[in-house]
Amino acid sequence: MTMLRGRKIIIGITGGIAAYKIPFLIRLLKKKGAEVKVVMSPSAGEFVTKLTLATLSGNAVHSDFIRDDHGSWNSHVKLGLWGDLLIMAPATANTLAKMANGNCDNLLMAVYLSARCPVMVAPAMDLDMYRHRTTRSNIALLQKDGVVVIPPGTGELASGLSGEGRMAEPGIILGNIESFFKKSLPLSGIRALVTAGPTYEPIDDVRFIGNHSSGKMGISLADALNRAGAEVTLVAGPGCPDTQTGGIHRVNVRSAEEMRKSCMKFAPAVRLIIKSAAVADLRPVHIAKGKLKKERAPAHLALEPTADILAELGKRKKKGQILIGFALESDDGIRSARAKLRRKNLDAIVLNSLQDKGAGFGTDTNKITLLTRNNKTIKFELKPKAEVAKDIVNFVIKTLGK
């Protein structure tokens, strides 16, 4: 799965021949869905053009404190705060020395000193420079400060010498960035199953019983869990929108029975299940073949209950598994949501009330109350569903002790 979708990465290019490989790195990062901004040291432009880098990254490339256009300044602070990661590649011996000493003689160094995000370096230089004890001690100092070093490779160098010092290949740098994000995310290593949207229960080949669920809440939850590093399987009912992040394993279903089968298939392997789908409670007993002629339509539709998927997941819950359900109630509903939590063996239930304006089906916002197994009641304000999803994910992170 890709950890990089939507991640903001600043590449700091300094003046080494390996700068010519950075356009390839930008392409790889962009293909994975990352956003890239490039800042160059003044001499980096001797090796690779701003035009190439700006075209591939889709963003303006800066190297000076002052903009050439109207004498305004390039805010190193803004740039530094923008990134989720700053990677200096290639990092020359000179730049490593400046980083180790806090020198600030160009825009890139100012960005480095302003950045609050993690920093990586991909050193590149000739072998004797790389072996030099001053370079070694500068690298050691940076590592002590938390800078992650992607070691250079060994091979032919631009000088004609052969040995250690050539910048790690773009593919290797990409792998390092991906595993870095994976390790630093709170839910990395956690598998999650999320259900979203309505289910449609067929009357005949063209008609169904359904409900107004848009699937937005479940989709936002899948995205929020994915952003937090979880490996997400999403079982989506009909009409659910696309997720915003990549790497989610999505299974589209229509009826409650299809959703049940998918859930039972994936549940045993996951640590966390969030069942936000609005499963139809009832389905027609008989499904007519083709399209029922209205003259022959029955006056009454015989209905039977669908399987309660959440209750079944509660019965089969494994040790350590966390099961979260949703409850949509037409009154304030705390009592009946608590009863549902107990009846279905849940760890928490997310209550939304139809009484609250802007909450529930179809809207872009929601107002929830989280009720926990150990009798906690946590109320949240009305917020966009993406924010509500973050609140629920933060609750999960705490529950898992992450």
Contact positions toward ligand CTP, by CB under 6 A?
Answer: 256, 275, 277, 279, 281, 306, 308-310, 325-328, 340
Among 151, 187, 163, 199, which residue's Cα sits nearest to residue 322?
Answer: 187
The angle, 0 to 180 degrees and rounded to 10, between the axes of the packed helices 170-184 and 22-31 is 40
Phi/psi for 205 (5° steps) reads: -70, -15
Would you say 378 and 350 are in contact if contact means Cβ atoms under 8 Å apart?
Answer: no
CA 142/CA 101 separation, integer angstroms: 9
Residues 118 and 86: their CA atoms lie apart, in Å, by 6
Which residue in this structure is represented by tokens 């109350």? 369
CB distance 124 to 118 below 8 Å: no
Give 263's contacts (C-beta < 8 A, 6+ positions apart). 193, 195, 235, 273, 275, 309, 313
Minimum separation from the CB atom of position 386 to ligand CTP (A): 20
Measured distance CA(209)–CA(193) in Å, rounded: 25
Instruction: Based on the residue annotation, tell me whether 211 is a catalytic residue of this protein.
Output: yes
- Residues whose CB falls within 8 Å of the CB of residue 71, separated by 6 or more in sequence, listed in order: none
Of the pair 232, 310, the CB lying nearest ligand CTP is at: 310
The CB-of-354 to ligand CTP minimum distance in angstroms stands at 11
Q: How far apart are CA 263 and CA 275, in angstroms?
A: 9
Which residue is catalytic, options 59, 94, 103, 211?
211
Q: For 4-48, what is the HEC assignment?
A: CCCCEEEEEECCCHHHHHHHHHHHHHHHCCCEEEEEECHHHHHCC
Distance in angstroms (rounded) separating the CA atoms of residues 112 and 224: 29
Catalytic residues: 211
